[in-house]
Amino acid sequence: MRPFVYEQPADISAAVAIASRFTTSDDQPTRANAQFIAGGTNLADYMKLGVAEPNRLLDLNRLKESGLRQIRVTDDGIRFGALVRMGEAADHREVKERYPVIADSLRLAASGQIRNMASLAGNILQRTRCEYFRETSWQCNKRVPGSGCAAMEGFNRQHAVLGDSDACIATYHGDFAQALIALDAVVHAEGSRGARKIPFAKLHRQPGDTPHIETDLAADEIITAIEVPAMPWARRSLYLKIRDRESYAFALASAAVALDLDGETVREARIALGGVATVPWRAGAAEQSLQGKKLDETSAEAAADAAFAQAQPRQHNAFKIELGKRTLVRALLETRDMKV
């Protein structure tokens, strides 16, 4: 393991100050000399593997702002502090009641130990698990820009069929993000250029020609909170995650669904898809296709077809198109049948 400097800034402004001293405005957060660490379940792992190589770690866990550790439920919605642990949010009574899709997405992620350690901000910023990315002896455009993509013609069963490019097909594996993007969440960030709000859908970047650019964040920007607007009908929502084993595995395909129903007719649908795309994936076309329709297996299938109309299969992941569609159909029907 490479040697690095470890610091524990006392508050947000100190953390931003150190970060901006050791990074430039062109630096990508994941490639910068100084990087933030929260639970470390993603970053420490990647440092051991030689995938992430910061010289300086800024530990956020001692930041004194208490809001970073709080979940606040108001009439306007819900606000998660960035350092809230996955496990806390998953077990939170009001989260479970008002936004089952959020609680489910967290409960079905990782393992109990990891959920106790991992922060919500770290979770949404987790990096891909592409095998060729994780192991430094392979070619990888995301890790070493311009070096090629070993996964493209390699073993790509877990790779993305949506939002991919000729440079990178790595899946975004997180679950929580699918709930957030479906519910129009907003991310609060603070950096040397001030505080700002980022619509969740703008946070992650599709790979395009620059797969090493993963988010909209600057290297000295700290996520401080995640806000989800109030949405009374989100009580009818769920997260369905399909995987090779019953627990402790990433999604082969998943769906975050929230439905506003008038009897069996869809007033509004919110749909996001996990395990199949390079970034958190809002399925707008599927939502539109359901609007004003009676929700049954036929209309659900039509929505699923719309969601995957642009999907691009590779050698080992072609099944994800069919699986993704079926996952969405099942999720829609199960959400419809929820007793709320």
Ligand X SMILES: Cc1cc2nc3c(=O)[nH]c(=O)nc-3n(C[C@H](O)[C@H](O)[C@H](O)COP(=O)(O)OP(=O)(O)OC[C@H]3O[C@@H](n4cnc5c(N)ncnc54)[C@H](O)[C@@H]3O)c2cc1C
Positions touching ligand SF4 (CB under 6 A) are 128, 130, 132-133, 140-142, 149-151, 168-170, 211
Among residues 96, 5, 106, 103, the alpha carbon closest in space to that of 47 is found at 5
Pairing of strands 71-74, 281-282: unpaired
Question: What is the closest distance, in whole angstroms, from the C-beta atom of residue 228 to other proteins in the complex?
Answer: 27
Looking at the Cβ atoms of 159 and 204, the one nearer to other proteins is: 159
The C-alpha atoms of residue 273 and residue 310 are separated, in whole angstroms, by 14
Q: Is 117 or 303 the residue whose CB approaches ligand X more closely?
A: 117
* Complex with ligand SF4: residue 143 or 236, whichever CB lies closer: 143
Residue-wise DSSP of 28-75 = -TTTSSEEEESS-TTHHHHHHTTS---SEEEEGGG---GGGG-EEEET
Site of interaction with other proteins (CB under 8 A): 1-3, 50, 129, 131-132, 134-135, 137, 150, 153-155, 157-158, 242-249, 252-253, 319, 322-323, 326-327, 329-330
| CB of 24 or CB of 136, closer to other proteins | 136
Nearer to ligand X, 5 or 340 (CB): 5
Q: How far is the CB of 219 from ligand SF4 (least distance, A)?
A: 20
Q: CA 61, CA 89: separation in Å to the nearest integer?
A: 17
Residue 168 near which of other proteins, ligand SF4, ligand X, none (CB within 5-8 Å, type-dependent): ligand SF4
Query: Of all residues in the chain, what percent are helix, strand and coil, respectively (each to 5)?
Result: 30, 25, 45
With contacts defined by CB under 6 A, name the span among 29-37, 138-146, 255-263, 318-326 that binds ligand X. 29-37
Largest CA distance in the chain: 61
First and final CA of the chain: distance in angstroms? Answer: 51
DSSP assignment letter at 310:
T
With CB under 6 A as the contact rule, which of the stretches 150-158, 174-182, 310-318, 319-327 interacts with ligand X? 174-182
SS3 assignment, position 323: helix
Among 9, 16, 31, 39, interactor with ligand X by CB under 6 A: 39
3-class SS of residue 13: helix
Retrieve residue 44's tokens: 């420490």
Which one-letter amino acid corresponds to residue 264? E
Pairing of strands 222-229, 237-242: unpaired
Name which of ligand X, other proteins, ligand SF4, none residue 322 binds, using a CB cut-off of 5 to 8 Å depending on partner kind: other proteins
Q: Which is nearer to ligand X, 69 or 293 (CB)?
A: 69
CA distance 69 to 63: 10
* Residue 40 interaction partner, one of ligand X, ligand SF4, other proteins, none, beta carbon < 5-8 Å per kind: ligand X
Q: Does 223 bind ligand X (CB under 6 A)?
A: yes
Q: How far is the CB of 303 from other proteins (least distance, A)?
A: 14
Contact (Cβ atoms closer than 8 angstroms) between residue 160 and residue 171:
yes
Cβ 330 to other proteins shortest distance, Å: 4
DSSP 248: S
> Out of 164, 175, 227, 287, which residue is the one contacting ligand X (CB under 6 A)?
175
If one asks whether residue 181 binds ligand X (CB under 6 A), the answer comes out as no
What strands, in cross-sheet order, belong to the sheet with 77-81?
Answer: 71-74, 77-81, 222-229, 186-191, 194-199
The binding track of 98-137 with respect to ligand X, each residue x by CB under 6 A or -, is -----------xx---x--xxx-xxx-xx-----------
What are the C-alpha distances in Å from 132 to residues 149, 155, 320, 334? 8, 9, 19, 36
| Site membership for ligand X, residue 158 (CB under 6 A) | no
Residue 78 found at the interface with ligand X (CB under 6 A)? no
Name the residues that contact ligand X, by CB under 6 A. Answer: 30, 35-43, 45, 60, 82, 86, 109-110, 114, 117-119, 121-123, 125-126, 174-176, 222-223, 250
